[in-house]
Each structure stands twice: as C-alpha cells, then as structure tokens.
Amino acid sequence: MKNLKQFNKKINKRLFLSNVILLTIILLSVTYFAISYVDRMEEKIENTTKETLQLVSSQNVKAIQKEVFSKQEFLKVVAKDMEREERFDILDNIKRFKKYVQEYEFYNMGLINKDGICYTTLDETLDLHNYDYFKRGMKGEIQISQSYKSEDKKMDLNIYVVPVYKKHKVKMLLTATYASDKFLERLNITSFQGIGGSFAVNRIG
C-alpha cells in the first residue's frame, strides 16, 4: 500500500511537471506569435505611412509647380502684349494691371525701368536697382525670387520677374508679387487626422 502511494505521488509529480512544461511551452508560443504579429503589423503600418507620405508629398510638389507655372505663363503673355505696343506708357499699363491683381490673387504688380525704379499697382515708386532679381532680370532671366518682406514688413512675398523686350533688348521688367503663405496653403495634408505637416524644399534646401 505504501509503495502504491509513493508511486501515485511520483505520477502526480510527473503530471504536474508535465503540465507546467506544457503550459510554459504554450505561453512561450503565444508570446512568440503575439510578438511576431505586432512586428508584422508595425512593419505594415510603417510601409503604409511611407507610401502615404510619398503620395502626399508628390501631390504637394505638383500643386506648387502648377501654381508657379500658371502664373508665370500668364505674365509671359502680358509681357508679349506689351512688346507689341507701339506707344508704351508705364502708368496706363499699371492701371490695367490692377484688374489682373484681383483675378490672379497677386499682392501687387509693377514695371521696373532700366534704372531699377519700380512703379506698382499699390501706387508706390520703389528703388530696386540693388536687388539680385532686378540684375538677373535685366540679363533676360525669367524667374521667381526667394521670399522678401513687403514694404510694410507684414508679410513675406515671392516676386515673379519677366523681361519685356523692345528691338531684342530688355526694355524693362514686369513684376508680380505673391504672398508666400498662399504657397503654404497648397501644402495642407488631409490625412493623419489633420496632425501631419508638409514642406516643399528646393534642391539646395
């Protein structure tokens, strides 16, 4: 009888140990699969996020490019129209530009003569002869400048510059200023519950 009890004890011990080992194996297996699942999900979320950001960034760049190109093309057409004028009057053209300012959401438009004096639709007369965009424009370069502060220092402006030719020489420069903030409006991200941010950076940063 005593031997039977000892035998039963041994059996129960072994069963207990077997159950503990089995339970440990099950717990380890569940933990392993849970960690693997979480890792796979994190990788999937990361890849999805990257793809979404790439798509949004691409759309933002295209929106900015379209905005810049469309306004620049319009100004080139205006410059060509002026080149065909037989009698050229700066102030008459400035009056005409006031309508364009509203239609194309420019801050202002103007004409810069060879001496660097600019006449604007805000009825200002500015001396811009020291500015880089004036010097480059007089060499025939069509451009959009870096951001400059407005005369009242209240906003940042990018300046479109298009040369106006007479007899194959640059006679003056057509300019149009555009609020830099309006470009930023093109960078709004609608995904990530509105908490995302986006920047457009040129090649030199």
Q: CATH number for the domain including 128? A: 3.30.450.20
> Based on the number of CB atoms within 10 Å of its own CB, is 106 exposed (0-12), middle (13-18) or buried (19 or more)?
buried
Domain count, the chain: 2
Residues 180, 110 share a domain: yes
Q: How far is the C-alpha of 71 from the C-alpha of 186, rounded, in Å?
A: 15
Does a structural domain hold residue 199? Answer: no
Q: How far is the C-alpha of 169 from the C-alpha of 114, rounded, in Å?
A: 11
- Check pLDDT > 70 for residue 188: no
Six-digit token string for 124: 């200002």
The crossing angle, in degrees rounded to 10, of helices 2-83 and 90-104 is: 160
Residues 181, 81 share a domain: yes
Give residue 73's pLDDT: 94
Segments forming the whole domain that contains residue 7: 1-38
Closest CA to 133 of 145, 121, 125: 145
Does a structural domain hold residue 140? Answer: yes
The pLDDT > 70 percentage for the chain reads: 68
Read off the pLDDT of each residue in 113-119 and give the average, rounded to a whole number.
96
- Amino acid at position 153, single letter: K
- Check pLDDT > 70 for residue 146: yes
